[in-house]
Amino acid sequence: MNPMDIGFMQQAIQEAQLASASGEVPVGAVIVAAGRIIARSHNQTELLKDPTAHAEMLAITSAANYLGSKYLNECTLYVTVEPCPMCAGAIGWAQLGSLVYGASDDKRGYSIFAPSALHPKTVVRSGVMAEEAGHLMQAFFGKRRR
């Protein structure tokens, strides 16, 4: 596994931990351009009372504002869990150069419901720190079930 992928995914996991600490589903994201983080976020659907306030969506908005462009084709999105179809659509419209995610989402992941939502040139790498990201999700939902 690429050491840079590990470092940036660790940053996304820190964002996911912030989400969990505030009662949000623990998904975190960072966007990287030219080797540095230009945007970071975590789920904020409860805080904002907004079903679209997923980590990926918020990070894409932040990165686009930072770059002054709606296209992020020179950027990489690191996210702890496989994006949902909504987020995959946004990733596609932003034309992100790369998507790197940790844990797969067998219930709501884009690869099941919208496998062609991404831009055709987007490079996808999955399974980066999947165990750590999956553990955050399992622990969060385990607490909610009790």
Question: pLDDT tens across 35-65, in order?
Answer: 999 999 999 999 999 999 999 999 999 999 9
Show the beta-strand stretches assigned E in the chain. Answer: 28-33, 36-42, 75-81, 98-103, 123-126
Name the β-bridge partners of 123. 98
Please tell me which residue in 15, 24, 56, 82 is annotated as part of the active site. 56
pTM for this one? 0.96
Cβ–Cβ under 8 Å, residues 53 and 45: yes
| Residues contacting residue 145 through CB under 8 Å, at least 6 positions apart | none
pLDDT at 102 > cutoff 80: yes
Residue 115 pLDDT > 90? yes
The answer to whether 80 and 12 have CB atoms below 8 angstroms apart is: yes
| Catalytic site includes residue 132 | no
